[in-house]
């Protein structure tokens, strides 16, 4: 109890919830006045760091005009235009309030568009807590040690098939059996809910080919990677165009915003133009839209992603060097400003590999890093995030702390 999302309870690391009083730049401050270098970044949204002055000023300005109207505004149109300009596969977009809403709605749309029912997802990929997708979902579900969740009827998941991530073979096998019944394949193009696991070379390309060949929609869940690994998301980084894309986190600038979009002919099936229903009282509210617009404007600054890449590489290299010098066996994965550290000596390419990490050692690492003023995700199955507010000094302090702690874990 006492938390509004399970991973915040710190149960997986044997700790207590960290109650935060305020945040500024790359730092958070707890209720007791302690400061920490923050690599959780509100689970991804705070790519600019906390309390970015331009974002705060924009939010303050729009508050004077009202917080929610239940009617269209120019602000939601502006943010939609920024999203469609950034992500070429997204020709039309619908705003919602959470990543769960985005993925749930995208799957419903895929079923409505294709007239098929089966969904393929991948082990360890988390697409929110809607009943249909809460199958072999990694992240918080893995942290709780249960494969799905009580309260999800069997009938809700009978049409959901979960296959190993980064392995195209089982996908082909499933196509040979059920291709004409499969509505969509949904995937995190960079898996961020089993730690951090990049796609193997060719995996995303093969998914695109096999779905196109069988009239199946490919959905990229870019709630985490959108505007994070590149301005155009993972699909821009890897050069793949999905049929539908789900976004969230960064596009809200720290406020509750998500979206799903894709090819116009598919999106036109959504009500009121089409028969597939989806709605939301606070969807597109002006405060959240303003925060998103202000954030994306900052991301457009020349050199932004190059600077973020440099900082992220410095952190990954520093952690790797600290582990090598102390004899601790770790695997560090990184894509852009997302990182994962696993206490295992084997490559981590899927959820089964991630589960070989020494969870007891990870818990010790987390708790001792916290004691040394560094806040990492309190679960092996969550990613680390670097923000533009992190400085070289912050990163050097982090790697020094890690080296000190690795020496105690031998």
- Which residues belong to the active site? 126, 221, 249
Task: For residue 292, give the nearest of 262, 254, 235, 337 by alpha carbon.
Answer: 254
Let me know: does 251 contact 85? Beta carbons within 8 Å: no
**138 neighbors 124 (Cβ within 8 angstroms):** yes
What is the arrangement of strands in the sheet containing 27-30, beginning at the earlier edge strand? 20-24, 27-30, 35-38, 374-375
Q: Specify whether the CB–CB gap between 267 and 90 falls below 8 A.
A: no
| Exposure letters 313-340 (e unless 16+ CB within 10 A, then b) | bbbbebbbebbeebebebbbbbbbbbbb
- Alpha-carbon distance 28 to 21, whole Å? 8
Cα torsion 353, 359, 365, 368 to 10°: value is 160
User: Which residues have a Cβ under 8 Å from the Cβ of 56 and sit 6 or more positions away?
Assistant: none
Residue 164 contacts residue 173 (beta carbons within 8 Å): no
CA–CA separation, 5 and 43 (whole Å): 11
Helices (H), 187-230: 203-213
Neighbours of 68 (CB within 10 A): 14
Longest dimension (CA), the chain: 61
């Amino acid at each position: 109890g006492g938390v509004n999302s399970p991973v915040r309870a710190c149960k997986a690391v044997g700790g207590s919830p960290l109650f935060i009083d305020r945040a500024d730049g790359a730092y958070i401050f707890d209720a007791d006045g302690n400061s920490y270098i923050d690599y959780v970044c509100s689970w991804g949204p705070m790519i600019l760091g906390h309390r970015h002055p331009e974002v705060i000023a924009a939010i303050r300005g729009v508050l004077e005009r009202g917080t929610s109207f239940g009617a269209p505004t120019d602000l939601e149109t502006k943010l939609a235009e920024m999203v469609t300009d950034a992500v070429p596969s997204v020709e039309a977009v619908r705003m919602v309030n959470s990543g769960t809403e985005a993925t749930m709605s995208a799957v419903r749309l895929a079923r409505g568009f294709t007239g098929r029912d089966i969904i393929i997802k991948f082990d360890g990929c988390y697409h929110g807590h809607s009943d249909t997708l809460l199958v072999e979902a990694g992240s918080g579900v893995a942290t709780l040690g249960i494969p799905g969740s009580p309260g999800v009827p069997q009938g809700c998941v009978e049409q959901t098939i979960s296959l190993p991530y980064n392995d195209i073979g089982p996908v082909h096998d499933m196509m040979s059996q059920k291709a004409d019944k499969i509505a969509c394949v949904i995937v995190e193009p960079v898996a961020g809910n089993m730690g951090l696991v990049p796609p193997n070379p060719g995996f995303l390309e093969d998914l695109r080919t096999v779905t196109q060949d069988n009239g199946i929609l490919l959905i990229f869940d870019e709630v985490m990677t959108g505007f994070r690994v590149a301005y155009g998301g993972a699909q821009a980084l890897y050069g793949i165009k999905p049929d539908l894309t789900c976004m969230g986190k960064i596009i809200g600038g720290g406020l509750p915003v998500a979206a799903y979009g894709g090819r116009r002919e598919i999106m036109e099936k959504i009500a009121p133009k089409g028969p597939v229903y989806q709605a939301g009282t606070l969807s597109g509210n002006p405060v959240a839209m303003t925060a998103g617009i202000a954030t994306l404007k900052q991301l457009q600054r020349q050199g932004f992603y190059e600077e973020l890449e440099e900082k992220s590489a410095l952190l990954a290299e520093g952690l790797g060097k600290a582990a090598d010098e102390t004899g601790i066996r770790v695997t560090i994965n990184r894509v852009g400003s997302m990182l994962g550290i696993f206490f295992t000596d084997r490559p981590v390419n899927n959820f089964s590999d991630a589960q070989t990490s020494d969870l007891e050692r990870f818990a010790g690492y987390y708790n001792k890093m916290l004691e040394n003023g560094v806040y990492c995700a309190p679960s092996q199955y969550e990613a680390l995030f670097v923000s533009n507010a992190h400085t070289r000094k912050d990163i050097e302090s982090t790697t020094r702390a890690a080296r000190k702690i690795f020496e105690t874990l031998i």
